Structure 1
Amino acid sequence: MEASKRPSSCISKWQYSSTKSKLVSNFNPVCQAVQKLTFRGKFVIILNQKKSIPGKFISVQIYSGSEVDPNTGKGWLSEKAYFKECGRKKPHHDDDVDDAQTKVKTYKIKLQVDSHFGTPRAFVIQNKQNRKFYLLSASIETCTNRIIHFDCNSWIYPIKKTKFDRLFFSNRCYLPSQTPRALAELRKEELDKLRGNGMEERKEWDRIYDYDYYNDLGDPDKGSEHFRPILGGSRLYPYPRRVRTGRKHSATGPSSESRPQATNFDIYVPSDEIFSPNKLKEIKSNSIQAIVHLLSSKTESLPQQSSRSFQSFKEILDMLSTNRNQTIEGLIRDNLKKLVPNKYLKEVTQSIKENHWHVPIPPIIHEKEWAWNDDMEFGRQMLAGTHPVRIQCLMTFPPQNKFGVQSSIKKSIIEQMLEGWTLPQALEQGRIFMLDHHDYLMPYLNRINANGVSAYASRTLLFLRSDGMLKPLAIELSLPGSSLALEIQRVFLPSKQGTQAALWQLAKAHVLANDTFYHILVSHWLYTHAVVEPFILATKRRLSEMHPIHRILSPHFKDTMHINALTRLILINSGGILERMLFPGETCMQITCDLYKEWKFTEQGLPADLIKRSMALEDQDENNSTGIQLLMLDYPYAIDGLEIWVAIKSWVRDFISFFYKDNEAIIADTELQVWWSEIRTIGHGDNHNETWWYQMTTLSDLVETLTTLIWISAARHAVINHQKHAQNGNYPPNYPTLCRKFIPLEGTVEFGEFLKDPDKFFMKMFPDRFEMSLGLTLVDFLSRNSYDEVYLLRCQPSHGWIDNEIVLNRFAEFKEELKEIQTRVLQKKQRSKA
């Protein structure tokens, strides 16, 4: 253990030479002078302003990690050393910084310590100037040329605001029981600071991680229409916890927190979670472009169009492919003042003048305009499109709701389309699949449809052909009846021409609207962003930065809390973008509460998820590393995903084996046990059924937990969020956010209108120009990969992210495994195009 070691090798040592009867010095001459050791440090910072930092205002002190100061009980603390500029940092291909976009500077320090100081393992930095800066990394070189690395990635605020120096630990990991005595008290003090006292309003420079309910989505001070229930803390509205901001409560709704000004993007997250300077610039730039796009679309439609709707598919394609240049007059200027803070107004104005931004047309649409409407493409997207995680294998027929009301889809109709199979045979062989958007929507449809939209609950049945393609069989659209046990059901069947084909097209649009809502607000927001925030909070509160579990998880949590905060500010709030854009409107978040009731952590790993959806069976074959047998041969999300899952799990298992030797070590890790307890009982306190969580008493529990967390945060999130451009996710008819018309009943006036011009009716069913443009803008904005996106291949910030050569070598192997998987996936993709 490092705490028991004597001072490091650069400290004066004298050997007795019996042959020459004299003392011989064997240490570096630099260390010999007046028994002092010289340490040199380099600190890489990112400036968010053009001016350099005056080094005389930035001081650093270094803590020993091996030798204890008897007066403090902590490691020896050096004198202060001050920054001296030593030039620009040369960009490295593994750095998380685009050197061309920001001013990256390297500063150095030089200090001397007494010969008994030992090995540096921590430092504190103090900022006495009036502005913050971003500390990317640091390194300290001892007099024996040993380099101690620190990955910092943190904003350093003025001391007059924080009242505390900022402490950083080196990249050496220790379990709590193995912490050197010189660092033990520092470890405890730092965790105490991060937990805070649960009081007061949090300020931008605070680093306090505390829990709260989602009590800031409504804005009752604006009127009763902006009242929203508190999410979390109740049986009716269970929800994961979010970070506490501590803002004052609303005057009108005392249970609701007051809301900050949305256009300033000013909402608290702990300072370590705030985007880096380049990320902040990128978010602002993308936001400006989104505003430009919205204003251009809105202004373009008003003078020329008497109708708010598109008149043809060609107009939609023109909207995607045409760069618009609008003058900034009248309505645009008025909207700018409402939407954009004054400090950004000049930039937005200039951007509109130079507007050359448009949403790219998906490749498949570019090649074939009507490809999106093909039935086989409709089925393919459920397996390989933007949202391949909802489809399930149907085990019994007919499907029914929780009240026992059966689907009205007839067996006799289905069997005619099974290419020679009987329905029992197809069910037994796992060839009938269902996209289910039924039960969770039914209780809300009357409220939803009272607000000017037309929504159904839907079930879509599909058949797996011998060539591996999914063929749609039927769509059932349902509305509430006179009681919960009754439903009004309509069934639509595939058709190639005539009236039935046009009705089938309308039915598919309603299914896609359901799937779009579920994709954006459930699969993406709830099941990857919201559920992960309690894990981040607990990790920061309960696991020291020196803890190996903190270190392996930290890169996968990057930017999540800041993104979640902005989501609360402008997307999921009352009157926010998602309420305006998605068909459930003000009931959006309440629906997610119901779906959170079904969320079980033990079902979030890929194998468990596939088994739950009957897309795979458990396999007892010892040689099967996944433990499951897929029922589908052409399901890229599962086939490629399982390779990634196995690689992650293997890496995680090897990683924890370096720190935990047996199950007893898991139980004895006090930080780990409190971390896991807090996640289940507080962070996910509304969902703490013990059978839904691993017990954290074995090595296997920890491996499954970490693999699942990394899977949710990295691989699954990438599939859910970043496929929209490559697929059809940014082509509005294929990704409708709402429908404005029900499918007309035969014999009605509306049915006659439909028969007269089915395509025109179809256009009127879609959102209007502005709403469609809003949806396009959001999809494009959320789908963009930022310059500093953390990929699995680069999921650690630098080569020295951990001070352990064995771990680093194993991580290098993990990266090679991922590269090989990537190569195989790309090769399969090329073969499928050929």
Structure 2
Amino acid sequence: MQEYLRTVQGRITDSIVLGTVMSINSHIINGEVVILASHGQAGPGKSASIRLYSATELDPKTSRGKLSKEVRLKHGRSKKDKGLKTVTYRVKIRVDTEFGIPGALVINNKHKNKFFLQSASFQVPSGRTIHFDCNSWVYPVKKTNADRIFFSNMSYLPNQTPEALEELRREELSCLRGDGTGKRKEWDRIYDYDYYNDLGNPDRGEEHVRPVLGGNASYPYPRRLRTGRPPSENDPSYESKPGMMSLNIFVPPDEQFNPRKLPALLSNSIQSAVHFLVPEARSLLRDDSDSFDSFDEIRGLFARKENRKPASDEQPKKKTSHRKKQGLTKFPLPQIIAEDEWAWKSDVEFARQMLAGANPVRIQCLQEFPPLSRSGALSSIEEADLEPNLEGLTPEQAMLQMRMFILDHHDHLMPFLDRVNRKDVRAYASRTLLFLREDSTLKPVAIELSLPGTPYGMEFNRVFLPALGSRGDQEAALWQLAKAHVSANDCAYHHLISHWLHTHAVVEPFIIATRRQLSAMHPIHRLLDPHFKDTIHINALARLILMNSGGMLETILFTKKVSMELSSMLYKEWRFDEQGLPSDLLKRGMAIDDPSSPAGVQLLFEDYPYAADGLEIWTALKTWVTDFCSIFYRDDSSVQSDEELQAWWSEIRNVGHGDKKDETWWYDMRTLTELIEAITTLIWITSALHASVASGQYTYAGFPPNRPGLCRRFVPKEGTFEFGQFLRETDRYYLELLPGRSDMTLMVALMEVLSRHTSHEVYLGQRSLPEWTDNGVILQKFANFNGNLRQIEERILERNKDPNLKNRFGPAKIPYELLYPNASNAERAPGNAGKGIPNSISI
């Protein structure tokens, strides 16, 4: 017995000594791991474990940083927010005293489900906290056959990477590039390129065949993310489609919607679907369900505005009560008819929307009169008498004074009209001339509607003028029909070019190249990452639902089957160096060079809301980008020696936008000035430009008579049967010219979804986590950027109160807030036409 006790005592003594030695030679790193659990699921708990790689201490056996022991996630604390569960795990990781500073987090998921890792942070013994801004799905290791790695929020140029992280940096980029073969599985973190060979569906028949866009001179296009789905059965040049009604299209885990975004998007879509389907079900019971019978019937789609003021002793009601009274089947009231239900018909409002509406990026200063087409075809506008509307000037004099403007939808539409004008579509190519009045409002003075002639003949042109006092109601009604055709032209251009091509499509190759060539540790990757959030996922859904053959845009737009062909044709004109706002304004003649101005340009007239607000945003953006880049790049040689940056830019030019690789306008990316201009332009596109052409869609197109997607009747010619109909029932003719009941209601539903901001949107000047970088200098510069945006907000609100700036609210009394940054609010309620510039193309 005594021998046994001596043995036990010896073991206890050895354990105490060993424990003392371990405590002397080790440290505890306290950590916190935050996971967002999908609806109906818990966190992974003990099925997940983490390890840390050192950023400062190398393990000579592995040529990597020292690796800590594995620690399981236990005893998570849950917090619910709107049905979504946030689970926070506290961990203690024992490391030896020479472990150093953590630089990478390795997570192993042995749970049966994926989970969304939001962030992690670890406090080292010195008191310093190392943050990991993760924001990605972590899939079960039985599917991925590999652990998942995240790098800390510290940023390094390639030649400044700590030796302990060099091998991990190289391996991570290599895995992300893949080998360009095989069908992608949902857990694959692989990025490579493909053509737009998934828009058509030849397996459904000839009517669903569409050209493959990209990779050929006839149909150039930016590249998209490759999914690797098998080829179509009927034509191997096309990619096959997912199953019927399936939204299961490959998107890498880093690009997938987080658990907050997907339910919000589905909720918005379901709500709009109810709005759409119920009126459609009602219309099936009608004998004549094709057209609305009156404008009042169209307005009946929307919830009525509550104008009655409560009595002094009456308790105020909740804002939702009136909407509930009218049932869930009513669309919200679009702003264009909220204050004045007829303001949209006025010429002033028609013109104002070219400066502050849904598509304020197309209007140009007129450079030649009469305007000429590329084919050399003459315009008939020269023969029209414009002078009564030019305040005593001739058209030539007004043009020389830079007071003549044009909304030109002629040349790009003419080649397609013979294919478009079939069945229930009647479309023209249009030119609209406008005159800048003394009060800086625009007056439309002529509309030219054109149709192709015979193969050997000239095109057919008709010119319409605004009705003057001597002309009567007939001319005014014809003028209104002509404006509807112009609006249909502009609506299609807005959806296919200004919105889809010039933001969504052109940015996707930049995202792919960033993931493939710039490490997550790279400062430019860190700077751009929030501006790429959700874009690839949104684009994938758009190809599946909106842009595809028979999709929603082919349904609601007059361009129908040629929609994406038209987009491809106009991609031929796209230049990256003209996408920054100052360059774009100079190209369109809306501004002149002014080196003394902060943005380098001066507007032709101050009251151009999109440009006035946009130039302030552009200047703040460029200052922020300059501050950020200057921290890492001291001179031009540091830009030239950055191997990841040079590979990134080369891949964008030669692969992502490979159909334009031989263009001479690409930046050489040899100087810090070029880098700053390119990055500022890219962030401008993803944030402010997208907000200006996306957030106002429901405001203006939510009431389709203001911006119809198509017209079903030509403007009648005198002496025809149609002209007789027009004379007998002018309003009825106008209603029959507009889209039919089904298309119009679908348009409203789609605009409602595409205009909404989710409640968790992150706006320009904000980040999802305050510790998005561990560099204090960067955080201070970012705070300055946020402060600049807040000052811009104040100036925008002041401009909107200025009665002399008539284009900022117009007859419809809609204040221009599409470029209001909203940097001062961390979170806001979702809604249509909400203030705020989202960081990214997230809808």
TM exceeds 0.5? yes
Q: Deviations over 1:172-208 (max 9, x none)?
A: 0000000011000000000011101111100111111
- Cα 1:485–1:641 change in 2 (3 A) is farther
Letter in 2 for 1:633: E
For 1:180, which of 155, 162, 181 is the aligned residue? Answer: 162
2:209 is matched with 227
For 2:603, which of 630, 643, 658 is the aligned residue? Answer: 630
SS of the residue corresponding to residue 385 of structure 2 reads helix
- Cα 1:164–1:630 change in 2 (3 A) is same
1:600 is matched with 575
1:667 is matched with 640
Letter in 2 for 1:109: V
1:824 and 2:799 correspond: no
Taking structure 1 as the reference length, what is the TM-score of the superposition?
0.90
Taking the aligned partners of 2:259 and 2:517, their CA distance within structure 1 comes to 28
Q: Deviations over 1:82-122 (max 9, x none)?
A: 00234235xxxxxxxx9334111101221111111111010
1:400 and 2:382 correspond: no
Q: Percent identity?
A: 54
2:712 is matched with 740
Taking the aligned partners of 1:172 and 1:357, their CA distance within structure 2 comes to 50
Deviation at 1:291, TM superposition (A): 2.3
Deviation at 1:410, TM superposition (A): 2.3
Give ranges in structure 2 of 5+ residues lacking alignment.
1-18, 306-323, 804-808, 814-843
SS of the residue corresponding to residue 319 of structure 1 reads coil
Letter in 1 for 2:334: P
Q: Deviations over 1:330-374 (max 9, x none)?
A: xxxxxxxxxxxxxxxxxxxxxx99961432223342222210000
- Cα 1:811–1:31 change in 2 (3 A) is farther
1:712 is matched with 685
Kept in 2, the 8 Å contact 1:403–1:485? The answer is no
Taking the aligned partners of 1:130 and 1:49, their CA distance within structure 2 comes to 15
Q: Deviations over 1:685-731 (max 9, x none)?
A: 01123422111000000000000000000001011000234x42211
1:72 is matched with 62
Taking the aligned partners of 1:54 and 1:793, their CA distance within structure 2 comes to 33
Letter in 2 for 1:823: E
Taking the aligned partners of 1:32 and 1:157, their CA distance within structure 2 comes to 35
For 1:370, which of 342, 345, 350 is the aligned residue? Answer: 342
Q: Deviations over 1:117-149 (max 9, x none)?
A: 111010110100100111111001112221100
Kept in 1, the 8 Å contact 2:32–2:90? The answer is yes
For 2:592, which of 600, 617, 623 is the aligned residue? Answer: 617
Taking the aligned partners of 2:663 and 2:534, their CA distance within structure 1 comes to 30
Letter in 1 for 2:450: S
Q: Which runs of 4 or more aligned residues in structure 1 lie more than 4 Å from their structure 2 counterparts after TM superposition?
A: 29-32, 352-355
Letter in 2 for 1:811: F
SS of the residue corresponding to residue 293 of structure 1 reads helix
Deviation at 1:459, TM superposition (A): 0.2
SS of the residue corresponding to residue 277 of structure 1 reads coil
Deviation at 1:322, TM superposition (A): 6.8
Letter in 2 for 1:198: G
For 1:697, which of 662, 670, 678 is the aligned residue? Answer: 670
1:460 and 2:432 correspond: yes
1:645 and 2:635 correspond: no
Taking the aligned partners of 2:441 and 2:516, their CA distance within structure 1 comes to 48
Kept in 2, the 8 Å contact 1:262–1:570? The answer is no
SS of the residue corresponding to residue 94 of structure 2 reads strand
Alpha-carbon RMSD across the aligned residues, in angstroms, is 1.9
Kept in 2, the 8 Å contact 1:85–1:105? The answer is no
SS of the residue corresponding to residue 509 of structure 1 reads helix
For 2:741, which of 753, 757, 769 is the aligned residue? Answer: 769
Of 609-618 and 278-287, the range deviating more from structure 2: 278-287
1:588 is matched with 563
Letter in 2 for 1:699: L
1:547 is matched with 522
Taking structure 2 as the reference length, what is the TM-score of the superposition?
0.89
Letter in 2 for 1:530: A
- Cα 1:361–1:354 change in 2 (3 A) is closer
SS of the residue corresponding to residue 264 of structure 1 reads coil
Letter in 2 for 1:277: P
- Cα 1:746–1:31 change in 2 (3 A) is farther
Letter in 2 for 1:85: H
1:58 is matched with 48
1:788 and 2:773 correspond: no
Deviation at 1:32, TM superposition (A): 7.9
Taking the aligned partners of 1:99 and 1:198, their CA distance within structure 2 comes to 40
Taking the aligned partners of 1:31 and 1:299, their CA distance within structure 2 comes to 78
1:126 is matched with 108
For 2:354, which of 374, 382, 388 is the aligned residue? Answer: 382
1:576 and 2:551 correspond: yes
2:505 is matched with 530
SS of the residue corresponding to residue 321 of structure 1 reads coil
- Cα 1:788–1:666 change in 2 (3 A) is same
Letter in 2 for 1:247: R
- Cα 1:612–1:776 change in 2 (3 A) is same
1:800 and 2:779 correspond: no
Letter in 2 for 1:602: D
- Cα 1:371–1:262 change in 2 (3 A) is farther
Q: Deviations over 1:470-499 (max 9, x none)?
A: 001000000001137721000001016411
1:111 is matched with 93
Q: How does 1:278-293 map to 2 (within 5 A)?
A: 278-293=260-275
Taking the aligned partners of 1:261 and 1:492, their CA distance within structure 2 comes to 49
SS of the residue corresponding to residue 338 of structure 2 reads helix
Deviation at 1:425, TM superposition (A): 2.2
- Cα 1:314–1:40 change in 2 (3 A) is same
1:300 is matched with 282
Letter in 1 for 2:694: N
Q: Deviations over 1:295-353 (max 9, x none)?
A: 21211111134241011111010112379xxxxxxxxxxxxxxxxxxxxxxxxxxxx99
- Cα 1:82–1:307 change in 2 (3 A) is closer
SS of the residue corresponding to residue 710 of structure 2 reads coil
Q: Deviations over 1:609-638 (max 9, x none)?
A: 00000001112x4x3211112102210111
- Cα 1:430–1:689 change in 2 (3 A) is farther
1:100 and 2:82 correspond: yes
- Count of aligned residue pairs for this structure pair: 766
Q: Deviations over 1:55-91 (max 9, x none)?
A: 21100010000111001100001110000234235xx
Deviation at 1:664, TM superposition (A): 0.3
For 1:158, which of 140, 149, 152 is the aligned residue? Answer: 140
Letter in 2 for 1:582: L
